[in-house]
Amino acid sequence: MISPARTAAFHALTAIGSGRADLPAALARSRAQLKDERDRALAASIVHGTLRWQRRFDHVIEHMARRPLTKLDPAIVVIARLSLFQLLFLDRVPAAAVVDDAVDLARAAKLPSAAGFVNAVLRSTLRQRQRLPLPPRPAADAALEDVLRYLGVTWSHPDWLVARWLDRHGLDATERWLEFNNEPAPLTLRANRLRMTRQDVRDALARDDVETDTTRYAPDGLIVTSGNPLRHPNEGRFVVQDEASQLVPLTVGAQPGERVLDMCASPGGKTVAIAASMHDSGVLVAGDVRARRIELMRETISASGASSVHLVHLPATGPLPFGQSFDRVLVDAPCSGLGTVRRDPDIKWRRHESELAALASRQVDLLTRAATVIVPGGRLVYATCSSEPEENDEVVRAFLERHSHWRLLDLRSEAPDALRPLLDEAGMFRTLPFAHGLEAFFAAALVNERRT
């Protein structure tokens, strides 16, 4: 009988590869089919790991098979990839069980003639596992083609993205970035200060046999080192939120009694953080264009205990349904997500360089809409989880060129201590995996200098 976890991983990877689902949706579907928590954990590990190292595996498969992937059935490619991940990265999984299940998966996929092929590829890889045919690290004077091949194949990233990072940061930094992306992301929590301090949350989790470390930069963050905090009632004590994401609300600088809009607020983690900064006073409006996401936010806000938050379903285009009434607005813009590849490795295979211009155009439009509801002297914060200049610096530059009464605020003049190491020479918030050990996030604060 094929392991339920491997079967679930196969179906999840097939759905992702065909474009029928993204990683979160595919994993949610697989979890629903698995009753045992250990099977759920193994399936998630296989899916994430296979996507992280997909290009390396494809290179190995082609070498062992002596034919291009285009000549292989897509189902067989998926089976070979997920089996290679287990053989090469999961020490506790018996190799014989992996190979046997791969053969059975090929037969279950109604490809019995390919079962022998899968068996041969996997066993050949096992024999050569200490000397896999991967491009070596190039010498200092190597040709660009060799450098890109090493970074792209051996570290399993698309050439176009590797080339961009290499051009901006050089070989050593890019290599560290790719290594960061290929590490499993830890489970990171943010204490909800409306209910408990970080230390109180940490103590409560310890009583449930969940051990944590404090985050390096985020003042309310905890990194889970053992145990599963999601098995126990949360009662609004914390939200699951990446550390870099936790830092974005600090750039807003919201104060008690102000009127603040979180314009792209779902799933609500940043909204709750802003409410805590405001001591749950004033008016905090959380909006989203997707009705289903509004309901998700409603659950998050309710659990947090925040009473100052008002949820609004915003129109996707056209004027916002407010006057010029907000002191601060956060636009956490929909973006490529290329800064979160460690947590969502399917992004590096789904995104294409040609998409960046269209994304940037929509982001400028979002900023323009948001600017109309901010009072003179008010602040507009633009944030993304993208690593790419087109979606970050260039969006800010394009907005400022079109709106002469707005200026960039140098956050170094007023940033809390947690942010200071993460501000660039212009005072914009920017995290880089190779420099800070965080996903690549960006935020810029803009000030409305128009007089009343």
Active site residues per annotation = 385
β-pairing, 429-430 vs 326-332, is unpaired
CB 29 within 8 A of CB 353: no
Q: What are the angstrom distances between the C-alpha of 402 and each of 104, 328, 390, 406?
A: 61, 20, 16, 9
Which SS3 state, helix, strand or coil, does residue 372 take? Answer: coil
Residue with tokens 């004027």: 319
Supply 215's token pair.
Answer: 């985050």
Q: What are the angstrom distances between the C-alpha of 76 and each of 37, 123, 184?
A: 27, 15, 25
HEC-encoded secondary structure of 160-203: HHHHHHHHHHHHHHHHHHHHHHCCCCCCEEEECCCCCCHHHHHH
Q: What are the angstrom distances between the C-alpha of 279 and each of 40, 256, 312, 325, 444?
A: 39, 6, 21, 20, 24
Q: Phi-psi bin for 371: left (phi > 0), alpha (psi -120 to 50), beta?
A: alpha
φ, ψ of residue 148 to 5 degrees: the values are: -65, -35
Please provide the distance, in angstroms rounded to a whole number, between the alpha carbons at the two ends of the chain.
Answer: 73
φ, ψ of residue 241 to 5 degrees: the values are: -160, 130
Which SS3 state, helix, strand or coil, does residue 354 take? Answer: helix
Residue with tokens 């301090």: 197
Chain center to CA of 199: 26
